[in-house]
Amino acid sequence: MSTQVEKHPLPYWNPYVAGIGLGLVLLASFVVMGRGLGASGAFSSLVTVGVQAVAPNHVANNEFYAEYIGDGTKSPLKDWLVFEVLGVFVGGFISGSLAHRVTKVVEKGPNISTRGRLLMAFAGGGLMGIGAKLARGCTSGQALTGGALFNVGSWAFMMMVFGGAYAMAYFVRRQWQ
Amino acid sequence: MIAPFFKYGLFGEDISLVVAFITGIGFGFFLERAGFNSAKKLAAQFYFTDLTVFKVMFTAIITAMVGLYYLSVIGFLDLSLVYLTPTFLLPQVVGGLILGFGFVIGGYCPGTSCVAVSTGRIDGMVYLGGIIFGILVFGEVFPLVSNFYVSTSMGQITLPQITGLPYGLLVFLVVLMALGGFVGAEWIEKKMASKKAGASL
């Protein structure tokens, strides 16, 4: 840990360079797999497995969970998105480590307590989970992937994400500024 | 045409999971490189002080879009075999709105929160807990919202199909729009920075 404290975190990359990198990963996924990127779907599989362990009948009677169970011949965790998201954790850690950016910290503005920030993080995550499921995908699966494919629903979704975030920004400004 | 490789049977399900893991590493790497492990940086997009979210997202979209178009024109990739999520307009509009609220309240989206977690952000870990809780809530109330969930179904549909404009023209227009957006974003950031400097004098 002491070496991490001594070394200053390196600056982030130029956004256009990082964007091209991200775009090429997305393109490679289209070419190799015939599908784009995702994130929220992996957590749906995780939730389904959790609920199934506690109440198997409940899962069988719910269309939402049933979709992630499939025909029941394999675990919902043996899924493309689950493995992809595991990679996201690893990739983020590799990049962060190389640039000395792995630090135990709470991201927040100066005008909010740590406790307040964590409550907001949980509430925001909750809304994100609900919104992503209703929209059939999140920023990765809809905005990025569907955006590059000219998917009608994805473009409508993307406009609403920016619209919603800008509309709400004023009310939570104390958290960030 | 030989791509998408998986659809042409170049490898099976098990290898596809290895591909998934490697793809994810690339995805996470560039998310972190862009600074998307930081909620402060992500949220700054919505206060016009740092428009990295817009810049990275649209650079990625046009890179993949132009690449796809080129590979399909030269006959390397069959675009019709690339999976397209069906459109259900109203639930996606409402879902997008809720997600947008969650983005600025919590500071992350699902993918970026994973990168935040692996670089030690405590708020990212709590946020991810929130996502799991939100999905559980959605799953539990699903029987109540299932009619809405499948409403305004439009099937697998793209902007070229709905507008009748040629695919290539739309690629060109989106690239043009993005480039214009980048120029605007740089201008807004400069403006905001000088405003802030002026305020602190």
Any domain includes A24? yes
**For residues A28-47, average pLDDT:** 96
Q: Is the pLDDT of residue B55 over 80?
A: yes
Residue A35 CA, distance from chain mean position: 17
Any domain includes B56? yes
Any domain includes B6? no
Instruction: State the first-to-last Cα distance of chain B, in angstroms, to the nearest integer.
Output: 62
Any domain includes B5? no
Any domain includes A65? yes
What 3-state class would DSSP assign to A154? helix
The reply to whether A129 and A91 lie within a common domain is: no
- What domain range includes position A118? 107-177
- What domain range includes position B125? 13-200
The pTM of this model reads 0.95
Among A103, A124, A139, identify where a domain stops: A103
Predicted pLDDT of residue B196: 83
The reply to whether A113 and A141 lie within a common domain is: yes
Percent of chain A with pLDDT over 70: 97
Q: Which of B188, B183, B182, B181 is nearest to B49 (CA)?
A: B188
- Closest-CA distance, B188 to chain A, in angstroms, reads 15
The reply to whether A40 and A53 lie within a common domain is: yes
Alpha-carbon span A82 to A39, nearest angstrom = 8
The tokens for B129 are: 């807990």
Domain count of the fold of chain A:
2
Domain count of the fold of chain B:
1
Any domain includes A7? no
- Closest-CA distance, A4 to chain B, in angstroms, reads 12
The reply to whether A38 and A112 lie within a common domain is: no
The reply to whether A118 and A47 lie within a common domain is: no
A–B interface: beta-carbon pairs under 8 A: 534
ipTM of model: 0.96
Q: Is the pLDDT of residue B200 over 70?
A: no
H-state helical runs in chain B: 13-34, 39-44, 52-73, 89-106, 110-118, 122-149, 159-163, 167-199
Question: What are the chain B neighbours of A152 within 8 Å (beta carbons)?
Answer: 87, 89, 154, 157-159, 162
Among A46, A81, A103, identify where a domain stops: A103
Which residues have a Cβ under 8 Å from the Cβ of B166 and sit 6 or more positions away? Answer: B160
Q: How many residues does chain B have?
A: 201
Among A103, A123, A153, identify where a domain stops: A103
Any domain includes A3? no
Instruction: State the first-to-last Cα distance of chain A, in angstroms, to the nearest integer.
Output: 30
